[in-house]
Amino acid sequence: MITFPNAKINLGLSITEKRPDGYHNLETVFYPVALEDALEIHTYSQEDKKFALYQHGLEITGNPEDNLVVRAYLLLNKEYHLPPIEIHLYKHIPSGAGLGGGSADAAFMLKLLNEYYQLKLTESQLEVYAATLGADCAFFIKNTPTFAEGIGNIFSPISLSLKGYQIAIIKPDVFVSTREAFSKIHPHHPEFPIKEVIRRPIEEWKELLINDFETSVFPQHPIIKEIKEELYCQGAVYASMSGSGSSVFGLFRPECCIPDLNFKEGTFCYIGKL
């Protein structure tokens, strides 16, 4: 059985408080984007091993046992004693990009196992499992535009449709560690609350919708700022870094003809429709 975990972008990201457990409270809007990995599972015929992971496409750092698809499988296996499985993961979403690729894979693995082995878990139960695998992982269970708070795990649905808009996602060849990016933040409540800004016309977002990580990440990696500026030069109605970087997205009007975007070799570029 196969599934296609998709990326997310953050529309605004305010880091509001540091918590006693070291994590941070934040406010953001998660919006799904059709930039997808492919994830396929089969029951494994050789029963001497619990799982075999075959990776294709973009490289993922770390051991196979630490891969979030494996961690998702082992999590459900602990409770439901699943058969051994063979996993094929084709990575197309770059890692360390703020696009939630690893979290998406984990959440889609939970949904896939639920369906393949008819575990009959509800969406709420899947969200609880997902939350243990990553701060923004549970978003990918419903995978619809969502206002998130807490550590990125308390959700309320929002009525926001960017259908028809075009999106460009550009990731330079630099890696931003999410943990390190959080450690450089001075938490504060935003002047313009994201939940309110998002209801305003998209033309106003440029001035009002802010990703707090840009302040600390841009000086360290000026190339990310340059990409954002270039997207505005090319006609984006709104552009921002996603999550803790290093990717930047630009939203373009449905009728806009996105020109050829020429960035340095090694830069990841995706152009699609919302």
Ligand X SMILES: Nc1ncnc2c1ncn2[C@@H]1O[C@H](COP(=O)(O)OP(=O)(O)OP(=O)(O)O)[C@@H](O)[C@H]1O
Enumerate the active-site residues: 8, 136
Residues 6+ apart with CB under 8 A from 32: 6, 7, 8, 140, 143, 144, 145
Shortest Cβ 121–ligand X spacing (Å): 21
Q: Does 102 bind ligand X (CB under 6 A)?
A: yes
Pick what 62 binds: ligand X, ligand CDM, none; C-beta below 5 to 8 Å, kind-dependent. ligand X
Radius of gyration of the chain (CA): 19
Pick what 145 binds: ligand CDM, ligand X, none; C-beta below 5 to 8 Å, kind-dependent. none
Site for ligand X in 147-186 (CB under 6 A): 178
**37 burial class (0-12, 13-18, 19+ CB within 10 angstroms)?**
buried
Q: Measured at CB, which residue is nearest to ligand X?
A: 102
Rank residues 38 and 256 by Cβ distance to ligand X and give the closer one.
38
**234 burial class (0-12, 13-18, 19+ CB within 10 angstroms)?**
middle
Shortest Cβ 64–ligand X spacing (Å): 9
**81 burial class (0-12, 13-18, 19+ CB within 10 angstroms)?**
exposed
Shortest Cβ 44–ligand X spacing (Å): 19
Contact residues toward ligand CDM (CB under 6 A) are 10, 13, 23-24, 26, 28, 98, 103, 134-137, 151-152, 178-179, 182, 243-244
Are residues 177 and 141 in contact, defined by beta-carbon separation less than 8 angstroms? Answer: no
User: How far apart are alpha carbons 42 and 116 in whole angstroms?
Assistant: 9
Shortest Cβ 105–ligand CDM spacing (Å): 11
Are residues 272 and 249 in contact, defined by beta-carbon separation less than 8 angstroms? Answer: no
Q: Which of 67, 146, 166, 240 binds ligand X (CB under 6 A)?
A: 67
148 marked among binding-site residues: no
Pick what 67 binds: ligand CDM, ligand X, none; C-beta below 5 to 8 Å, kind-dependent. ligand X
Residues 6+ apart with CB under 8 A from 78: none
- Point out the annotated binding site: 94-104
